[in-house]
Structure 1
Amino acid sequence: MKDIYDLPKNVYDRLEYLEFMLRFRGWITRTELMDHFSISQTAATRDIALYREHRQNNCYLNQKNKRHEYNQTGFKPLFEVDSRSALSKLREFTYSKALGLSDSDGILSPPRLTYPDINLLPTITRAIATKSYLRADYTSVRNGASEKRLLPHAIFDNGIHWYVRAYDEERERHCSLALTRFISAEVTNKVDEAKFKTITSRDHQWNRIITLEIVPHPNDEFVKESATIEHDFGMKDGCLKVQARAIVAGYWLNLWDVDCSANHSLKDKHYQLWLRNHPALYGVDGNFIAPGYKDSYYQ
């Protein structure tokens, strides 16, 4: 029997789709494979036979409706899939339609309120890829429009905005700049590898990795059953440990509604999580964004 990873990619993709539909919808038909992949009846029949050769007990043919249906007692996945990739597929119209989810607006998720300019984004990524400076016109809520000379090296997402992490040559410091606030940008001169490594190695907020110890909120007025929170977030020994770059920690804790006060003092119902090791945020740029955190606790 040929290993699935040795199969031609088009065959591999069809078998993966076949199993996904079996597992998440409960059935697959030869006609669907033919229509979805624009293949012949012979090819679709061969794909189903090949899949059953690898996982005979995963499905059975329902003669009444000519569907190969999910076997609840003998199913063993052939393809590895985690929750993240599965949910990503469910968000795609092709999959949500096939599963019948499009009739109820598919998988609803919060819309992004803003996106970077598609004509500016490639300029920034090219500068990163080629280790080059950017000459950019940028606007901020505090200083308005200004011209900057930047050496960008990374991009991150805080859930609302996309940011580029860059060295600002005029201010001689590293900073995070929202991609949607660039007015214009152009790639200028390259820097040599040694200089690039030296500059980026000094971005301590980017290079510093901290561990966030997130636990159920101790306020039993709103969190009466902490075991529910532990199950909800897959905590081990009552704690979820998340590693994050220092520069993004405040953004993410705010996004997750984690109470970061020293004495877990935030009482609103949506604070069901508490940052147990809140001193980890000391010295972190943007820690003021973390709900309830105050540097004065540690000074």
Structure 2
Amino acid sequence: MRRTPFEGVSGQQLERLAHIEFLVYFTGKVTRKDIMSRFGVSSAAATRDLGTYIDEAPVNIVYDPRQKHYVATNQFQCLLPLSAEKCLSTLTSGFGDVMESREVFRCAYSIALEKPDLDITATFSRAISLSRPVEIEYVSTSSGSSTRIICPHSLMNNGLRWHVRAYDRKRKKFSDFVINRVLSIELLYQEIFEKNESIDEDAEWMEQVELIIQPHPRLPRNKQRAVEEEFRMQGGVLLKEVKKAQVGYLLNSWNVDSTVDADLKGHHVLLHLKNAEDIKKMNIESFLLAPSLD
């Protein structure tokens, strides 16, 4: 049986070792000062962490006396199961868990039209953790501003904006609410969710569906090949399992032509939902948001 890397080290030291690996993996270098400033440990502790890492992966890094730091070797191989999402977030926003980072290193950038209001988001998160309803004043595109009580169970970023998934007592159904359309929010500590308001009763959230996505049929073969490579397709298709509640958001954010006969045109439309007819028959509420001719 293959031994787990860094077996037996404490959780705190494992975080520091993961930081060492991240720095070497993505920046090609690491110093004791990097560990000391990130975790507030002494020089001796940082030296021990580097020694522990080298003992486990002696060919990954080597000390460069000229530059006075450790550098990655050509034989470097990642030992730890680093999270791609967290690594990319760090490359975009810097190091740190919740506070804004003052670190200098940046090499990735994201584009967003808006960020969710932190106070409102935190109140939703507390409500989810405590299984308590909230009373909100909400601006809807169909009915304008209104007050309603909802029972939230999940927060979701659809690639364009942040939503909360919740049971709406006013409409007696589960729906998505855009966080930045919430004008005010109050956590109702004295109330609890009814059975029909819990996450287990949200069928479109609990059930998954497989999307079969292919390069758009109108594209010439050379462009189809490029799209296949970009999305790591196998056999000319990308199979993606998603919650039913997320189907329309995903297809919309990727500009996936969701018409049965691949009718959409435009240079921005590179993908087509191959099983559009089957998905359409499921009457998934969010599918209304998918790119179509309607």
**8 A Cα contact 1:131 1:196, kept in partner:** no
Residue pairs, 1:58-137, within 5 angstroms: 58-72=60-74, 74-94=75-95, 101-102=105-106, 106-116=107-117, 118-137=118-137
Unaligned runs of 5+ in 1: 295-299
Q: Secondary structure at the match of 1:145?
A: strand
Residue pairs, 1:249-268, within 5 angstroms: 249-268=247-266
Aligned to 1:52: 54
Q: CA deviation at 1:246?
A: 1.8
The amino acid across from 1:166 in the alignment is A
Aligned to 2:43: 41
Unaligned runs of 5+ in 2: none
Alpha-carbon distance between aligned partners in 2 of 1:211 and 1:19, rounded to the nearest angstrom: 35
Percent sequence identity over matched residues? 26
State the TM-score, normalized to the length of structure 1: 0.82
Q: CA deviation at 1:4?
A: 1.8
Aligned to 2:177: 177
Are 1:29 and 2:31 counterparts?
yes
**8 A Cα contact 1:154 1:164, kept in partner:** yes
**8 A Cα contact 1:136 1:148, kept in partner:** yes
Q: Secondary structure at the match of 1:269?
A: coil
Q: CA deviation at 1:132?
A: 2.9
Q: CA deviation at 1:211?
A: 0.9
Q: CA deviation at 1:202?
A: 4.5
The amino acid across from 2:256 in the alignment is V
The amino acid across from 2:94 in the alignment is F
**Partner of residue 275 from structure 2, selected from 265, 274, 277:** 277
Q: Secondary structure at the match of 2:266?
A: coil
RMSD: 2.8
Alpha-carbon distance between aligned partners in 1 of 2:53 and 2:219, rounded to the nearest angstrom: 51
The amino acid across from 2:48 in the alignment is R
Compared with structure 1, are the counterparts of its residues 276 and 3 closer, same or farther at alpha carbon in structure 2 (3 Å cutoff)? closer
The amino acid across from 2:217 in the alignment is P
Q: Secondary structure at the match of 2:119?
A: coil
**8 A Cα contact 1:121 1:179, kept in partner:** yes
**8 A Cα contact 1:152 1:167, kept in partner:** yes
State the Cα deviation string for residues 129-181 of structure 1 (Å, max 9, x = none): 33333332222122122121323333222223322222222322222222222
Residue pairs, 1:163-202, within 5 angstroms: 163-188=163-188, 189-191=190-192, 195-197=194-196, 200-202=199-201
**Could you tell which deviates more after superposition, 4-13 or 205-214?**
4-13
Are 1:219 and 2:218 counterparts?
yes
Alpha-carbon distance between aligned partners in 2 of 1:71 and 1:8, rounded to the nearest angstrom: 27
The amino acid across from 2:86 in the alignment is S
The amino acid across from 2:10 in the alignment is P
State the TM-score, normalized to the length of structure 2: 0.84
Q: CA deviation at 1:200?
A: 4.7
Aligned to 1:15: 17
